[in-house]
Structures are given as structure tokens and as C-alpha cells.
């Protein structure tokens, strides 16, 4: 004899709910362990950075004299980097990963940005106009956004307020 339809439906929903909760708890637990094992490296003067934001946020305004790149990871967190006052080294390369988090990068309008970023159930938005100068410095981006996002944009630096 088959169980009533309402009972079967409730069992299926309960099983799916428990499975979803277990997957989320496992993902969050792994992120918490990873946060302790992998600290952020880099400051405003660093030519290379390794920024990690797990259940947290990281902000950096770079003044590097030869920014080479590095890596950024946002896992249930966010990374905001302003590179408009940095000087770019040749062959600069950034590896970006956003897992249920976000990364926002501001670059100067004179830079060329090459993006090899991919997204799965997330988004990637690179809005940097192509410079007219053929010798413009180039920043190459690689990585992925999984249930997260990466945004790169070029704007002029804000002018200091006048007294």
C-alpha cells in the first residue's frame, strides 16, 4: 500500500531542506577553516598582493610604484581595490576568485584591461574603455565568479576637496 500523497511530498521537501542546509553548513565551515589558514598579504605600497576576504571585507587603495598583480579571493565576503594611483608594471596579472562574494576594482582610464574571467551563476562586468595609446600599460585578469561577482571599472581619481 502506498503512503498518502501529502505525506510523500512532505518527506521529499524535508529531505531537500536538510540536504540544502547540510551543504550550506559544510561550505560555510570550510570557509571558516580556510580563513584561519590563509591570511591577506599586501598594503598600499605593495607591488604584489594576496587579498583574502572570507566572511569579511578588505579595502585597499594602492600607491604601488610597479604594481605586478597577485591574487584576490572573496568567499562570503568582499574585496574593494582602488588602483587609480598605482603605476603598472609590465606583464601585470591578477587572479580573481569570487565564491558567494564580490570583488570591485577601480583602474585609471589610461590602462588596458584584458579579461579572461568566467562566471557560473554569478557575474563579471569589465567596463574599461580601450585606450588610444598603443603602448598603454596592460593588466590581465583571470579567474572566476561562482555565485558571486567581479566588477572592474575606470574612472578619474576624485579631486581632493579644496579648503
Tens digit of each residue's pLDDT (9 = 90 or more) over 74-113: 998 999 999 999 999 988 999 999 999 999 999 998 899 9
Tens digit of each residue's pLDDT (9 = 90 or more) over 113-134: 999 999 999 999 999 998 888 8
Edge-to-edge order in the sheet of strand 102-107: 57-61, 78-82, 102-107, 149-154, 123-127
**pLDDT-based confidence at 34, cuts 50/70/90?**
confident
| Maximal CA-CA distance, the chain | 84
What's the pLDDT score for residue 28?
78
CB atoms within 10 A of CB 72: 26
Amino acid at each position: 500500500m502506498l503512503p498518502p500523497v501529502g505525506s510523500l511530498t512532505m518527506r521529499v521537501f524535508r529531505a531537500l531542506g536538510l540536504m540544502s542546509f547540510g551543504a550550506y553548513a559544510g561550505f560555510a565551515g570550510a570557509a571558516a577553516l580556510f580563513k584561519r589558514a590563509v591570511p591577506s598579504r599586501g598594503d598600499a605600497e605593495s607591488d604584489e598582493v594576496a587579498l583574502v576576504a572570507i566572511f569579511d571585507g578588505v579595502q585597499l587603495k594602492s600607491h604601488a610604484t610597479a604594481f605586478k598583480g597577485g591574487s584576490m579571493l572573496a568567499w562570503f565576503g568582499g574585496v574593494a581595490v582602488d588602483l587609480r594611483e598605482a603605476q603598472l608594471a609590465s606583464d601585470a596579472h591578477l587572479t580573481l576568485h569570487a565564491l558567494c562574494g564580490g570583488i570591485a576594482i577601480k583602474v585609471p582610464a589610461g590602462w588596458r584591461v584584458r579579461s579572461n574571467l568566467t562566471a557560473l551563476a554569478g557575474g563579471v562586468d569589465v567596463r574599461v574603455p580601450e585606450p588610444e595609446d598603443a603602448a598603454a600599460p596592460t593588466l590581465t585578469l583571470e579567474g572566476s565568479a561562482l555565485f558571486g561577482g567581479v566588477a572592474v571599472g575606470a574612472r578619474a581619481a576624485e579631486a581632493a576637496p579644496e579648503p
